[in-house]
Amino acid sequence: MPTHTVRLHRVLRATPERIYRAFLDAEALAKWLPPHGFTGRVHHLEAKVGGTYRMSFTNFTTGHSHTFGGRYLELVPGACIRHTDTFDDPNLPGEMQTTVSLKVVSCGTEMDIVQEGIPEVIPPEACYLGWQESLTLLAQLVEAEIPEP
């Protein structure tokens, strides 16, 4: 079955540890991962190799939700997250794999994301658009330094 792959690259003004935590903290993930127009809910997240997660995105306009989840294959604190993704919807078959690589650079952290095995029915440009929106929200979360009162 044909699939798509998307690759994204960003530099964020935050430490690798802070970005890593945003990918594995359920409340943070629900805040930044849903693209514009969607809300997110994390139903389960066990951030360890072999652990699983499950979440859903809900279209704010229509109320339609789609649920997905996966398994953590590799977790290297502050450096790498690799996990699978599978949609509950039988019209979106197969297993995707997402790899997030983090590296310290002079002005923050360089982040590379590769998502492979995207079902053919999902246009790659839609994936890029969704990821761009999500990564804008991620940057707003991890780059903000809010001191305690």
Average pLDDT, the chain: 96
pLDDT at 110 over 80: yes
pLDDT > 70 in the chain, percent:
99
pLDDT in tens, 27-77: 999 999 999 999 999 999 999 999 999 999 999 999 999 999 999 999 999
What predicted TM-score, i.e. pTM, was given to this entire model? 0.94
For residue 147, CA distances in Å to 24, 139, 144 come to 22, 17, 10
Query: Domains in the chain, ordered, with CATH?
Result: 3-143 (3.30.530.20)
- What sign for the dihedral angle of Cα 19, 51, 112, 110? positive
